[in-house]
Structure 1
């Protein structure tokens, strides 16, 4: 999938556009990941829609060296304007779900629909819970390894690989699907800076009036770190036009583990045929 660089707010942002039809703008996770996560799994959508993928500031092939939720909201709005999109469907994965909701709270009139997967929630409380549950799953010995590899990864490439090998199994339902996982280079500075920003500043509750009526589909893996039951209790009550779907046999990385089901859900939801979603709560 070929892309091009667009200058947004003085930064060179790498953007890929494919297909025609209703625009779907994909927001990758991390923080610090890249659009590569979505490829090639989401490309079949270009048969029916215009799909737009981009690397966030300083990630993948994009330039930039300042990292915050606010910065990414500005970048996303700059892309919308540069591509002359009136309204978009945002697809946010993991940290991308935080960005999607934060953008929507600022610019609700630019939203057609929102689809979230591996959703984190509405405030820093949910993000802290996510991290706490993940650490609990690791257990004492692996927590020590995590600390060692995290420190070593600053200096050694192989430690970064070991860190990924340690953590990746906790993001999936079946470790066999990790064979399909692409090795993506993470921007550690973006990860740390935006992670800190989320912990200190992420809170959508004062902005609920902007997003509570927006059409939102949350496709959460059955074995996600924050499972569907958590989202049902901590997110759904505040979003009156949101639907929750459990993606069976999937952990946090739904697109990696259940790409066909995710494609089906996206098509069904954006198609606007009023379809009900099997397994919804």
Structure 2
């Protein structure tokens, strides 16, 4: 389904199932919806963010613009209120939307987000390079030169292998995430990363989160290379929060622990509906 944002930009979206609506926000920035294999209860709506995946090319790109596009998805599907399911960068988008429009959100499922501050970056990079291991020379080569489309996919797969704790299946999972393949929107990624210090400031966010009455479920993989301590201040600030930490699981918990992940998420959504 093609829908239009308030500035006329076309966004790709799809729905399946019936019942209470759950709108998904994918990771990135600059990537696309990879939730085809995620099982959620209810009427599940997925979409590709502006300029990414199956949505029309072109910006502008910002956190505020992404939040406005999410509201366009809500309106296009005729929803007064909805649950939000966000993964990684998408968890940040979903949280920002809930803070801006709490009256439109029934529940928030925040999966593998990076919390309220930016202090996690240095530790993440150290963990990322360590988990790359023998793939680091090839990754270094690819990232520092012009690439063919096939090499661009190879670079993404190498990076995504670090998102999995089980190294014996990491390449398999990463290849699955890259199939089907859409070009990474590096312009989008750079624009949103550049604004982070200005728009994502922990002291202000803590104060906003303390006033949020929407029920929130935090789901973490204990072996995520993004340090989970970065989410501690978010968990402490939210007045209505549950937190599930899955042992031996990385950044994409529905692939490494599907039964445990579904039990946590479905239990939360059906309990609070």
TM-score (norm 2): 0.85
Matched ranges for 1:117-156 at <5 A: 117-126=111-120, 129-131=123-125, 133-135=127-129, 137-138=131-132, 145-152=138-145, 154-156=146-148
Cα distance, 1:131 vs structure 2:
4.2
Matched ranges for 1:181-196 at <5 A: 181-183=176-178, 184-185=181-182, 186-196=184-194
- Say which of 22, 25, 44 aligns to 2:23: 25
Q: 1:108 to 1:207 in 2, by over 3 A?
A: farther
User: Are 1:159 and 2:157 counterparts?
Assistant: no
| d(CA) in 1 for partners of 2:84, 2:199 | 22
Instruction: Check conservation: 1:150, 1:159, Cα contact below 8 A.
Output: no
Instruction: Check conservation: 2:113, 2:231, Cα contact below 8 A.
Output: no
Q: Which residue of 2 aligns with 1:278?
A: none
Indicate the larger mover: 97-106 or 191-200.
Answer: 191-200
Structure 2 residue ranges without an equivalent (≥5) = none
Q: Which residue of 1 aligns with 2:88?
A: 94
Cα distance, 1:259 vs structure 2:
2.4
Q: 1:78 to 1:204 in 2, by over 3 A?
A: farther
| d(CA) in 2 for partners of 1:214, 1:129 | 31
User: Are 1:215 and 2:215 counterparts?
Assistant: yes
User: Are 1:57 and 2:50 counterparts?
Assistant: yes
Instruction: Check conservation: 2:83, 2:108, Cα contact below 8 A.
Output: yes
Indicate the larger mover: 185-194 or 71-80.
Answer: 185-194
Aligned residues: 263
TM-score (norm 1): 0.83
Q: Which residue of 1 aligns with 2:164?
A: 172
Structure 1 residue ranges without an equivalent (≥5) = 275-281
